């Protein structure tokens, strides 16, 4: 698919003449005004289902060079695995260049973080080679827990089905993990004895839900 550049392009940062160093607010405005995106063409428009992780919400984009573009409208397309940006001047939707982004954060109306995503290179079960994708951060710690938010086309009709996968990272190595007890114990970096002790002492069980998986990994990281 041929991409078309939106009218706003990413130019080298050029400051007007200042008698002193430009403020951080001036710098952020320059980055925001120089944001680049590709034209968004929705290849799943005819499908029914939850194509998007979120409705349009304000957020911050973390760039590979360490800069942050803040307070822009963002949306994550789970089908295409792309970060979408809504240009407020004309409400056109663009796709932000994946290679320039290290991650992004989406906020609610009270500036409370709703979700944080990072770009990681992983080997997906249905792909021959590793590829860079956006993963939602669920737990940080010695064991990091991420969710790969993906929806797939149904084989029988024009609907999208949830295909979320969970990954445990340890020392930058990724392991796929299920939300059930049996699947989680197959992760080689998880100490089965320690995990059983965590489950028993906290009187909780892995019931196959994301909530229970998050809680168990968090308690596991905090246990000694």
pLDDT band at 29 (very low <50, low <70, confident <90, very high): low
Average pLDDT score over residue span 42-66:
94
Total domains in the fold of the chain: 1
State the residue range of the domain holding 30: 1-134+168-177
Q: What is the DSSP string of 70-118?
A: EEEEEEEETTTTEEEEEETTTTEEEEPPGGGEEEEEEE-TTS-EEEEEE
Average pLDDT score over residue span 33-52:
85
Mean pLDDT of the chain: 85
Running DSSP on this structure, what letter comes out for residue 159? B
Strand partners, 117: 104, 136
Average pLDDT score over residue span 130-153:
95
153-184 tens-digit pLDDT: 987 888 999 999 999 999 989 999 999 999 99
CB-CB contact of 208 with 180 (8 Å)? yes
- Residue 187 falls inside a structural domain: no
- Residue 55 falls inside a structural domain: yes
Q: What are phi and psi of 214, to 5 degrees?
A: -60, -45
78-132 tens-digit pLDDT: 999 999 999 888 888 999 999 999 999 999 988 999 999 999 999 887 776 788 9
- Residue 19 falls inside a structural domain: yes
**CA-based angle 75:80:84, to the nearest 5?**
25
Half-sphere exposure of 154 (CA within 13 A, CB side): 13
- Residue 197 falls inside a structural domain: no
214 token code pair: 């998050």
Whether pLDDT at 185 is above 80: yes
What's the CA gap between 72 and 62, in Å, rounded? 12
For residues 18 and 20, the model is more confident at 20
pLDDT band at 30 (very low <50, low <70, confident <90, very high): low
Q: Is the model's pTM score more than 0.75? A: yes
Looking at residue 11, what is its pLDDT? 34
- Residue 72 falls inside a structural domain: yes
Average pLDDT score over residue span 54-81:
94
- Residue 156 falls inside a structural domain: no
Q: Which residue has the tokens 């956006």?
A: 134
């Amino acid at each position: 698919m041929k991409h078309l550049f939106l009218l706003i392009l990413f130019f080298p940062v050029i400051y007007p003449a200042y008698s002193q160093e430009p403020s951080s607010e001036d710098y952020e405005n320059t980055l925001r005004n120089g944001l680049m995106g590709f034209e968004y063409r929705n290849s799943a428009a005819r499908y029914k289902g939850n194509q998007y992780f979120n409705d349009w919400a304000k957020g911050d984009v973390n760039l590979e060079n360490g800069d942050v573009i803040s307070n822009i409208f963002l949306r994550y397309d789970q089908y295409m695995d792309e970060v979408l940006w809504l240009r407020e001047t004309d409400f056109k939707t663009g796709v932000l260049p994946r290679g320039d982004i290290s991650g992004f954060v989406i906020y609610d109306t009270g500036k409370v973080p709703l979700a944080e995503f990072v770009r990681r290179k992983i080997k997906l079960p249905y792909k021959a080679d590793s590829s860079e994708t956006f993963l939602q951060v669920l737990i940080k710690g010695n064991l990091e827990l991420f969710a790969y938010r993906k929806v797939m086309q149904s084989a029988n009709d024009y609907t999208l089905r949830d295909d979320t996968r969970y990954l445990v990272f340890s020392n930058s190595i990724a392991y796929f993990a299920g939300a059930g007890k049996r699947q989680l114990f197959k992760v080689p970096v998880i100490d089965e004895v320690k995990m059983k002790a965590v489950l028993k002492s906290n009187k909780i069980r892995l019931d196959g839900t994301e909530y229970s998986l998050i809680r168990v990994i968090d308690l596991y990281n905090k246990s000694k």
